[in-house]
Amino acid sequence: MKLATRDNGTLDGELLVVSDDGERAAPHPVWPNLLAAIEDWSTAERDLAALAREIANGGGNPLTGETLRAPLPRTWQWLDGSAFQTHADLMQVAFGTDPIQHDKPLMYQGMSDRFLGPAEPVPFIDEAHGIDFEGEFGVIVDHVAMGTSAADAMQHIRLLVQINDWSLRALAVPEMKTGFGWVQAKPACSIAPFAVTPDMLGEAWADGRICLDLVVEWNGRPFGCANGREMTYGFHELIAHAAATRDLVAGTIIGSGTVANANYAEVGSSCISERRAIEIIADGTPATPFMAFGDSCRMQALTADGRAPFGEIDQQVASHAPAGRDVSS
C-alpha cells in the first residue's frame, strides 16, 4: 500500500491512498490524516487497504496537479540513527573528530514538528552555515512499548519513507563537541511523497533494511547512488535501541542516517560532507563547496526495474529573511 498527504490547508494535511503506480489516488472518509491513522493502525490499515483495492480496480482520481506534502507533515518524534559505518568513518574525517567508540547504535532526537514536502523550497539563514543534504531512509512505527526487543520491533514497522535530513555542517562540530547533540545544525528534514508498506518493496525489504539504490543529484548532476543494504544495524534494532527506556509514540519516525557504501569510489555519496572527506583523504583538502542559495537537490530510491516507490524529492535551497529585518530596503 502506498500513501501520500495532500495539502488541504491543515497542519496535518489530507491522507491519500495511492495506486501502486502513483497515478491515481483517493482520500478515505474515516481517516483524515496519516497521524490519526498511525495512532490506530490495525484498524486504519484494514480500511485503507480496502480503499487501495478499489483504486487498483479503477477507483479514485488521477493524481495530477496536487500539492503533495511530506507523508507525515508533523509528528511527535523523530529519532535519527547513523547506521552506515562508511558514513560514520567518513564524517570523522570531514569533521576532524575522534572515532566514536560506542557499542550501541548512534542516534539523536531531531525536530519533528515540521517535515518539508518533496518540492518545497528549503529556507536557510546563511550559506556560511555549510548547507548540506543527507539522503537516507526511515520507518514509521505505531506504538512501541518500552523494552521491546529488536525481533518484536519488526512488526511495528508500518511504513517506509525516504528522507533528506538537511544539515548545517559549520554548526555541527561545535554542537557535537558539547555532547548535547545537534539543535542549530539540524533544521527541518524533507520526506519524499510516498510512504509505503514494507510488502511494497518485495525482496528489497530485507532484514530490516531498505535495499534500494538512493539516487542523488545536485544541480542536475549525478552525486551518488549508494544502496541501503549496508546498515550495521537494521531498523528493528534501531527501534529497540530507541525504545530501551521509553515508550515510542505512534507516528515516531526512525531514520537510518546517511546512506553510504564501502565502495564509495564507484557509487558516490549521499551528502556533500562525505565527498569532502574523500577529497581530504585523497588530496589533503576538500575541494567541493557546500550548497548555495538557488541550488537544487533531487533524490529518488530506485528498484532494480527502475521504479521509484517513494517518488522523488526535488527541492531548491532558498534564502530565508531573518525575522524582523526589512529585506526590501
Residues that bind its own copies (CB under 8 A): 74, 76-77, 79, 82, 97, 100-102, 104, 106-114, 123-125, 129, 145-149, 152, 168, 171, 174, 176-185, 187-188, 241-247, 249, 252, 320-325
What CA–CA distance (Å, rounded) separates 194 from 78? Answer: 18
C-alpha count within 13 angstroms, C-beta hemisphere, residue 114: 8
- Least spacing, CB of residue 39 vs its own copies, in Å: 9
CB of 270 to its own copies, least distance (A): 18
Q: How many residues does the chain have?
A: 329
Cβ 20 to its own copies shortest distance, Å? 32
Task: Supply the minimum distance, in Å, between the C-beta of residue 238 and its own copies.
Answer: 10
The CA distances from residue 177 to 4, 82, 86, 95, 101, in Å, are 38, 17, 21, 11, 14
Q: At its nearest, how many Å lie between its own copies and the CB of residue 173? A: 9
Would you say 53 or 102 has its CB closer to its own copies? 102
The residue (of 63 and 154) whose beta carbon lies closer to its own copies is 154
Comparison of 22 and 32: residue with beta carbon closer to its own copies: 32
Residue pair 302/308 in contact (Cβ under 8 Å)? The answer is yes
Shortest spacing between CB 101 and its own copies, in angstroms: 7
Q: Which is nearer to its own copies, 285 or 328 (CB)?
A: 328
Check if the beta carbon of residue 205 is closer than 8 Å to that of residue 160: yes
Q: Which is nearer to its own copies, 60 or 81 (CB)?
A: 81
Nearer of residues 1 and 254 to its own copies, judged by Cβ:
254
Q: Which is nearer to its own copies, 60 or 257 (CB)?
A: 257
> Closest distance between its own copies and the C-beta of residue 24, in Å?
33
**191-204 in b/e burial notation, b at 16+ Cβ within 10 A?**
bbbbbbbbebbeeb
* CA–CA gap between residue 167 and residue 315 (Å, rounded): 14
List for the chain the helix, strand, coil content (%; round to 5): 25, 25, 45
Q: How far is CA 269 from the centre of its chain?
A: 15
Strand 68-69 vs strand 2-6: parallel, antiparallel, or unpaired? antiparallel
